[in-house]
Amino acid sequence: MSTITDSAPTPSRSATAVILAAGRGTRMRSERPKVMHPLAGQPMLRYLLENAQQVFDRIVIVIGPGMDDVAAIAAPHAVVVQSDRLGTAHAALQAQAQFGTGDVAVLYGDNPLITAETMRELLACRRQPGVGLALLAMRPADPGRYGRVVTQGENVQRIVEWADATPQERRIDLCNAGVLCADAGDFRRWLNAVSNDNAQGEYYLGDVVTQAVSEGACVRAVVAAEDELRGINSRAELAVAEACVQTRLRHAAMDRGVTLIAPETVFLCADTDLAPDVVVHPHVVFGPGVKVERDVEIQSFSHLAQCIVRMGAQIGPYARLRPGSDVGARAHVGNFVELKATTLGEGAKANHLTYLGNARVGARTNIGAGTITCNYDGVFKHVTVIGEGCFIGSDTILVAPVTLGTGAMTAAGSVITGDVADNAMAFGRARQENRDGYAEEFRNRLKDAKERG
């Protein structure tokens, strides 16, 4: 086995990655292609593509019929279709016209967590003098049904699939990750020589190792971490991979200067952008498309998606920022406050029990508890504009479209249906009337009615 830490691919020799992504995800019990299942908010295939792009000159993705969504994720890379699913070696053969003349590595879309560093190690191992074929292997805590790597000294002799392995071979702890790398010409020849004489009647990519050894080629294994090489074939394995991705993302955030008070309770997306000196309290969830600037504090049980939070703002606890929201510098979004497609100006505050949808709130404006914008009429969304320095009284209902000018105020409990001028105060409620003794009279009437049944 080889462990390469300081070698790099030869610049003058091209390298092609072939990614097998035709799996239907049968064990997922899903109509969605396997590689489209998300990890940290993005399809698992995207992780492999992003890392492969750092290493390989050309990428080819093998998909199944009708997988237009996979082809869209793969763009602008070349895509070929495996019309008949006859095994992994057969899938790789569909891309042979795209191999070129350099080295070719075959990867799997459902092994999405292989790092660029490990891919470079694989290429470097293959390019060592005398090495004809390199593969990735691992020693998982539970070898399970992985194919086993049979070795003699440093050299790999063959790959045996679990279904075809003897009891002695199943006790081998070195497992095949399925990833192979060889010269393009050799790879074509070995792939075309693979047969389907096995328990499943399929053309296994692992049998390329047998072909290489039969020709006297030296085959070496690069051993990498299980967390990188684990396959995803079921919902349970998807959950394990999600945990691995979350651990990576949390550590990366903390390395950038983010404070995660209880990291294991914070869930990030692959594109979550947290600046240094952001503090995240326990049990916060970040959906896709979130950007948080410096010195922001996000308190527990808040949920953010497709929004931006500016420098020094305070979020939560129990806040929800929905798509299109923009929270200004030093603004406050408090407990049980929801924003949707809303801009909250610098220093503005919505601290309690409020819904603001399709709203533009000016700087230093205070939104009282229980305020809501009625932005949807059943067909259209309408905008509420609130100027700078306004004071919106508790339990105000703002029926959009409506505009409140700079410095405007609303009385608590008002329903505002018309525009409010600068520095004006709006009363949108019925005038209070007190009737002396009426409360006692009313209670007595109710008691009499109850007694009469």
Name the amino acid, one letter, at 441.
Answer: E
219 and 263, same domain (yes or no):
no
416 and 316, same domain (yes or no):
yes
Asked if the structure places residue 46 within a domain, the reply is yes
Burial class (CB in 10 A: 0-12, 13-18, 19+), 17: buried
The domain total for the chain is 2
85 and 179, same domain (yes or no):
yes
pLDDT of residue 9: 43
pLDDT of residue 231: 86
58 and 106, same domain (yes or no):
yes
67 and 188, same domain (yes or no):
yes
Q: Is 272 annotated as a binding residue?
A: no
Rounded Cα distance between 266 and 250, Å, is 8
278 and 191, same domain (yes or no):
no
pLDDT, tens digit (0-9, with 9 covering 90-100), for 28-64:
888 899 999 999 999 999 999 999 999 999 999 999 9
pLDDT of residue 13: 86
101 and 182, same domain (yes or no):
yes
- The tokens describing 131, both together, are 């090495």
- The tokens describing 356, both together, are 């603001």
pLDDT of residue 275: 98
271 and 394, same domain (yes or no):
yes
In terms of C-beta distances under 8 Å and separation of at least 24 residues, what long-range contacts does 263-270 make, across chains too? 268/40, 269/40, 269/41, 269/42, 270/39, 270/40, 270/41, 270/42, 270/46, 270/47, 270/245
pLDDT of residue 161: 83
Instruction: Assign 254 to helix, strand or coil.
Output: helix
162 and 306, same domain (yes or no):
no
Catalytic residue from among 281, 283, 352, 382? 352
Asked if the structure places residue 361 within a domain, the reply is yes
Q: Is 161 annotated as a binding residue?
A: yes
pLDDT of residue 8: 45
Q: Is 186 annotated as a binding residue?
A: no
Boundaries of domain holding 157 = 15-229
pLDDT of residue 299: 98
Asked if the structure places residue 441 within a domain, the reply is no
Rounded Cα distance between 3 and 214, Å, is 25
Residue position matching structure tokens 């075959």: 106
Asked if the structure places residue 247 within a domain, the reply is no
Q: Is 412 annotated as a binding residue?
A: yes
Domain containing residue 324: CATH number: 2.160.10.10
183 and 320, same domain (yes or no):
no
Asked if the structure places residue 98 within a domain, the reply is yes
pLDDT of residue 12: 66
Domain containing residue 150: CATH number: 3.90.550.10
Partners of residue 43 on adjacent β-strands: 38
217 and 267, same domain (yes or no):
no
Asked if the structure places residue 237 within a domain, the reply is no
195 and 263, same domain (yes or no):
no
Q: Which residues of the chain, if any, have pLDDT below 50?
A: 2-10
Q: Is 251 a catalytic residue?
A: no
Instruction: Assign 167 to helix, strand or coil.
Output: helix
